[in-house]
Amino acid sequence: MTGLSRILILDDDEEFLGLYQKLISQHVIATAGVLIANNGPRALALLESEQVGLLIIDLNLPRMDGLQVISVVRRKHPQTRLMVLTSLRDEQFRARAYALGVDQYWLKPESDHETALFLEAVGALVRSDAQPGFRGVQNKSLADIIQMECLGQNTTVLRINHGITEARIWLVRGEVIDAEAQGLQGEEAFGRILGWTGGTFECLPGDETRERTIFISVQGLLLNSAQAFDEAIGESGSEGDPSVSITDRPPVLSDLSSFPGVECAVVQSSENGKLEDHWGISDPAPLSAWVRKTMLDFRKLGESLSTGDVRRVLVAGSDRKLAMTRLGSRDVLIGFESSKDLTEARNVLRTVLTKWAS
């Protein structure tokens, strides 16, 4: 799929089609346009005549239902990505859709926040330079996938394959209740799974009879995993070369849009201070220069005090909070709204690093 592919929305609700055609046209830039169809035969005809990279499809359709359309598209247009967007809260339909090869399954958004998450997912699917990730959710970590399942209040079993390793995570009505991986169970297994960098996942029918071993919220699980990752970085830095990190891939700054309170970001080389990327700021040069000077000063201070390499710097200013960190061979700054306290900023930073490391 190229960056000029079109998006096709298939739904029998004319008002819905008009609204989402407008939303996607305004918010998803890596597309040549948004087409619409109100029935299966019309959608299949457009797929024959147009370059469509992503088909967004409802399941409850007249004449030819959504699952039938998906089956035909997967056979005749295997390069086209498929996203289900439906109001059907039925785990059997969900399982059948994934078995047919859809990339994502979404319930129709009911709030602005859910709409923003959906548009972000569409943008990730149509990107022509997709990064490693899990099947159907390019540029997404496993943490993102789990959060999407929880947001939908789904009851399902995520079967995850990472190489030859298989694991499962049980969700009941949007809560994570158990996990198994490599002989581990519960929170320990969940943490192991979250560290995987990619693979495939499949949504199986839910099991409400599964014995619960995890009793904290998904936010708590993700925070604990982020804490463990943070500590692992500190340990690796104290034992060896501080420039070595779990990952040296450039961070995907568009991920930051899903975190409330994050205003901007700057990424630059730790070695020479060269600006590599920025987000949420029109002129990053002054902030980039400040990051360079600040990180150098703190590293010199660490050397003079024999405390080792400085990896985290948190700053409270009058107009915003700033968090700086070393990520592989890069220095990353994330700016937060002034209302965020430093503890919140640190916790968000940990979660973001977990996403980028995976």
Are 244 and 304 in contact by the 8 Å Cβ rule? The answer is no
The predicted pLDDT at position 228 comes to 61
Rounded Cα–Cα distance for residues 306 and 288 (Å): 27
Enter the tokens of residue 264. Answer: 């901007």
Confidence label for 52 from pLDDT (cuts 50, 70 and 90): very high
Residues contacting 7, CB < 8 A, separation 6+: 24, 28, 31, 33, 34, 35, 52, 53, 54, 55, 56, 122, 126
The residue-averaged pLDDT of 80-94 equals 85
Of 239 and 124, the structure prediction assigns the larger pLDDT to 124
Looking at the chain, the whole-number percentage of residues with pLDDT higher than 90 is 24
Enter the tokens of residue 79. Answer: 């390069």
Asked if the model's pLDDT at residue 107 lies above 60, the reply is yes
The predicted pLDDT at position 141 comes to 64
φ/ψ bin of 174: left (φ > 0), alpha (ψ from -120 to 50), beta (otherwise): left
Question: What would the pLDDT profile of 234-289 be if each residue is shown by its tens digit?
Answer: 544 433 333 334 455 667 787 777 777 888 889 999 889 899 888 888 888 988 99
Asked if the model's pLDDT at residue 21 lies above 90, the reply is yes
Confidence label for 19 from pLDDT (cuts 50, 70 and 90): very high
- The pair phi, psi for residue 322, each rounded to 5°, is -125, 140
Average pLDDT of the chain is: 79
**Considering the domain 6-87+97-105, what is its CATH architecture?**
3-Layer(aba) Sandwich (3.40)
- For 276-345, give the DSSP string: EEEES-S--HHHHHHHHHHHHHHHHHHHHTT-----EEEEE-SSEEEEEEEETTEEEEEEEETTS-HHHH
Asked if the model's pLDDT at residue 190 lies above 50, the reply is yes
The predicted pLDDT at position 98 comes to 79
The predicted pLDDT at position 317 comes to 65
The predicted pLDDT at position 313 comes to 77
The residue-averaged pLDDT of 86-112 equals 83
Rounded Cα–Cα distance for residues 324 and 312 (Å): 6
238-357 belongs to which CATH class?
Answer: alpha beta
Total residue count of the chain as it appears in this document? 358
Q: Which residue has the tokens 């463990």?
A: 228
Asked if the model's pLDDT at residue 3 lies above 50, the reply is no
The residue-averaged pLDDT of 70-80 equals 89
Which 8-state DSSP code applies to residue 55? E
Asked if the model's pLDDT at residue 54 lies above 70, the reply is yes
> What is the maximum span of the chain, computed from C-alpha positions, in angstroms?
75
Asked if the model's pLDDT at residue 172 lies above 80, the reply is yes
Rounded Cα–Cα distance for residues 278 and 160 (Å): 33
Q: Map out the domains of the chain as residue ranges.
A: 6-87+97-105, 238-357
The predicted pLDDT at position 215 comes to 92
